[in-house]
Chains A and B, each alone.
Chain A
Amino acid sequence: MFVEMAYASEAAEGAKGGLEATLGAVYPNPAAIWPTWVAFIILFFLLWKFAFPAIIGMLDKRAEAIKESLEKAEETKVEAERLLNEYKQQMAEARGDASKVIEQGRKVAETMKEEIVAKANEEAAALVAKAREIMESERKAAVAELQKSVAEISVAVAGKLIGEKLTAADHATLIDKYVAEVGGLNDN
């Protein structure tokens, strides 16, 4: 298969000789070596001085930024949870307070109502008592008046009947005696 090639290359190499002829396809061609070196050096300096610092700096910066963002997010989450708990607690407290206030109001209203009712009852009772007192005193006055007039009338009637003029002093004692009698009657 390679016979023709071998012929061709033998023929060509016959004139050349040396290392190139011995090595054939593995002859390291200087025409390929030095351009590779030049290319490598150019690329190496470009990457070393310019490209890699920028790209690696970018990678580091980005990693840092992501880490910071994650940390911040974690902090925010914890903070949010704390706030939520706080609000929940406050809400519960407010609810408790409100029910307490309502309860208190109800109690106050209750006591007020009781007070008012008691006062009204008292007043009514006082009114009734006063009225009864007045009635009593009036009745007593009327009775006293009646006794007096009855006594006078009876004295007058008795005087007339007896026909004897009573002295003023006798008059008075007589009246008192009657009054006492009538009073005693009245007391029964």
Chain B
Amino acid sequence: MEGSIVEALVGLSAIGKGLAYGLAAIGPGIGIGIVGGKALEAMARQPEMAGRIQSTMFIAIAFTEALALLGFVLTFLL
């Protein structure tokens, strides 16, 4: 009886971890998509600026990604 309760709690905790990371990844996923799409648009419009746009894009992606990474850490903390 005791064992099954522990097992259930462990299972619920696993579900919680999955949900936490999954939910945390939604926003940044959309955000990175927008950043990448806009960067592609800008590069297609001004191919001579592609290098600078690309580095700026990586920086923007890094800032957006921070949220997902916090979720990733949270998954381990749960």
B4 → chain A, closest Cβ, in Å?
12
B residues near A6, Cβ cutoff 8 Å: 10, 13-14
Which of B11, B76, B77 meets A3, CB within 8 Å?
B11
A residues near B14, Cβ cutoff 8 Å: 1-3, 6
- Interface size of A by CB at 8 A reads 11
B residues near A1, Cβ cutoff 8 Å: 14
Which of B7, B13, B73 meets A26, CB within 8 Å?
B73
Interface residues of B in 22-78 (CB under 8 A from A): 73, 76-77
Majority secondary structure of chain A interface residues (helix, strand, loop or mixed)? helix
Q: Is A22 an interface residue (CB 8 A)?
A: yes
Q: Is A183 an interface residue (CB 8 A)?
A: no
Q: Which partner residue on chain B sits nearest A26 by CB separation?
A: B76
Chain B contact-residue range equals under 10
In the complex, the answer to whether B77 meets A7 with C-beta atoms within 8 Å is: no
How far is A2 from B73 in the complex, measured between Cα atoms in Å?
Answer: 17
Q: Which partner residue on chain B sits nearest A22 by CB separation?
A: B77
In the complex, the answer to whether B10 meets A24 with C-beta atoms within 8 Å is: no
How far is A24 from B76 in the complex, measured between Cα atoms in Å?
Answer: 6
In the complex, the answer to whether B10 meets A25 with C-beta atoms within 8 Å is: no
Q: Is A15 an interface residue (CB 8 A)?
A: no
Q: Is A23 an interface residue (CB 8 A)?
A: yes
Q: Scoring A residues 12 to 31 as 1 if CB is less than 8 Å from chain B, else 0, what string do you get?
A: 00000000001111100000
Interface residues of B in 3-19 (CB under 8 A from A): 7, 10-11, 13-14
A153 → chain B, closest Cβ, in Å?
137
Which of B10, B11, B13, B77 meets A23, CB within 8 Å?
B77
**14 further A-B pairs in the complex, CB-CB below 8 A; given A2-B14, A23-B76:** A3-B7, A3-B10, A3-B11, A3-B14, A6-B10, A6-B13, A6-B14, A7-B10, A10-B10, A23-B77, A24-B76, A25-B76, A26-B73, A26-B77
The chain B residues found within 8 Å of chain A, CB to CB, are 7, 10-11, 13-14, 73, 76-77
Can you name 19 A-B residue pairings with CB atoms under 8 Å? A1-B14, A2-B14, A3-B7, A3-B10, A3-B11, A3-B14, A6-B10, A6-B13, A6-B14, A7-B10, A10-B10, A22-B77, A23-B76, A23-B77, A24-B76, A25-B76, A26-B73, A26-B76, A26-B77
